[in-house]
Amino acid sequence: MIDGPPIEVNGRRYALPRQPVVVVCVDGCEPAYLERAIEAGAAPWLASTRAGTWLVGDCVMPSFTNPNNLSIVTGAPPSVHGISGNYFWDPQAGVEVMMNDPKYLRADTILARLADAGAAVAVVTAKDKLRRLLGHGMKGICFSSEKANETTEAEHGIADALRFVGQPLPSVYSADLSEFVLAAGVRLMQTRRPDVMYLSTTDYVQHKHAPGTPEADAFYRMMDGYLRQLDALGCVIALTADHGMNAKTDAAGRPQVVYLQDVLDAWLGAGRARVILPITDPYVVHHGALGSFATIHLARPGDAIRVIAQLSATPGVAEVYDNATGCARFELPPDRMGDVIVVSKRDVVLGTSPERHDLSLLREPLRSHGGVSEETVPFVLNRPLTADAPAATGLRNFDIFDCALNWAR
């Protein structure tokens, strides 16, 4: 194990690990998934962590994958690290831009700084869209299950990860994509024993199956087996989620959608408003690019007051703010959000226009995230925290490295 003084990253101090630390971000893990799997007897290892640290915390808004994964690895909200969604509108360039590129990242990661301090660091993520952001500036191993067949020593710190893990390349739309992440973590710990490992799964199962369903319990049974192996290898394991997940349907199972672009075009005339849905990414099959958060760019900023008033009175809308108020409330970077920020209610999603969302791709009733209603996430460690640890209330998912490195006994 490495020795040295604590490092400081984004204004927070982190002790160097004295034993291997594994932080697991379980994508879309509404806390009820863990509770129901334990009740069903599907997750005995997780049940045993109740003797360690069994808490909940809040994720960052919007409750999407990329902003939260980057918050977890930077220990900071999006106002600091800059990744406020999968997409943003770049008004200077006049284009919608994917935020997968590390050039949009405004903060160091804890992972990169631990590697600089001499720690052996490994990162495995399900989807490749996160890999370059998570691994930015980091010496060590960093690859995705999605492209495990393409890894090289130079780019990913490990050649032929597919063969190393010894499982077939999973489909990007499968529970296997997450299983590969966990299997890779166990294999890495057995063979290379990194000091710090970050594992990030995908929410394919959670988008389709509610807590307590046989499919969900099977997923957590699978996960439980791998975490048990990591525990047996002597790791501190800290588990949280990027966001929760809720059904977004009416009593008949039909999606409940507010199509914002159509609403705004009717109020303001065509071409006066641009709706950005930051959930949008290349992988839309399981959510149809429908989430509970949107931002609106207005051609005439003076329209904001009227738009906010009218949206506030629109059924299905939970919260509407101007840029400054919304960014202060949700700790977002103002220059990457529009003039208006909208959050929908728990069982409602926000879209642009019906023709831009192919709901025929959905094989199960819509489940999604993005809103305040998906903020609560698990905060679980297989160790108790020391008596002098900060209060266990008001935790955020991005406090997980702090707890795992500084306060786990």
Binding site residues, Zn ion, CB under 5 A: 27, 65, 203, 242
Shorter beta-carbon distance to Zn ion: residue 131 or 383:
131
CA-CA distance, 151 to 162, in Å (whole number)? 8
Select the residue whose beta carbon is closest to Zn ion and give its number. 65
**203 vs 319, beta carbon nearer Zn ion:** 203
Distance CA 374, CA 317 (A): 15
Residue with tokens 């993520």: 125
C-beta closer to Zn ion: residue 27 or 339: 27
Give me the least distance between CB of 243 and Zn ion, in Å please: 5
Are the C-beta atoms of 202 and 51 separated by less than 8 Å?
Answer: no
Smallest distance, Zn ion to C-beta of residue 281, A: 10
Task: Identify the CA nearest to 17 among candidates 122, 89, 98.
Answer: 122
Q: What is the dihedral of CA 279, 315, 255, 219, to 10 degrees?
A: 60
The nearer residue to Zn ion, 171 or 386, going by C-beta atoms, is 171
Smallest distance, Zn ion to C-beta of residue 64, A: 6
Q: 241 or 404: whose CB is closer to Zn ion? A: 241
Nearer to Zn ion, 53 or 65 (CB): 65
CA dihedral sign of residues 7, 9, 13, 14:
negative
The distance of Cα 147 from the centroid of its chain, to the nearest Å, equals 19
- The C-alpha angle with vertex 46 and arms to 381 and 230, in degrees rounded to 5, equals 70
Burial class (CB within 10 angstroms; exposed 0-12, middle 13-18, buried 19+) of 107: buried
For the CB of residue 99, give the shortest distance to Zn ion in the complex, in Å.
14
Query: What does the alpha-carbon distance between residue 49 and residue 86 come to, in Å, rounded to a whole number?
Result: 33
Rounded to an integer, what distance in angstroms lies between the CA atom of residue 124 and that of residue 255?
33
242 or 303: CB nearest Zn ion = 242
Task: Give 198's strand partners.
Answer: 23, 123
Tokens of 161: 């990860």
Task: Sort strands 196-200 and 121-125 into parallel, antiparallel or unpaired.
Answer: parallel
| Nearest-angstrom CA–CA distance, 36 and 57 | 18
User: Taking the complex as a whole, how short is the minimal distance between the CB of residue 28 and Zn ion, in angstroms?
Assistant: 5
Closest CB 203 distance from Zn ion, rounded Å: 5
Q: How far is the CB of 126 from Zn ion (least distance, A)?
A: 10
Rounded CA gap, 195 and 274, in Å?
Answer: 46
Which residue, 245 or 298, is less far from Zn ion as judged by CB?
245
Nearest approach in angstroms of CB 118 to Zn ion is: 32
If the CB atoms of residues 291 and 338 are measured against Zn ion, the closer one turns out to be 291
> What's the closest the beta carbon of residue 369 comes to Zn ion, in angstroms?
7
Q: How far is the CB of 320 from Zn ion (least distance, A)?
A: 24
Handedness of CA 358, 360, 362, 365 (dihedral sign): positive
Of 61, 82, 78, 170, the C-alpha closest to 125 is 170
Number of H helices, E strands in the chain: 15, 19
The kind and range of the H/E element at 355 are none
Nearer to Zn ion, 299 or 361 (CB): 361
Single-letter amino acid code for the residue at 123: V
CB of 202 to Zn ion, least distance (A): 7
User: Running DSSP on this structure, what letter comes out for residue 77?
Assistant: -
The smaller minimum CB distance to Zn ion, of residues 158 and 332, is found at: 332
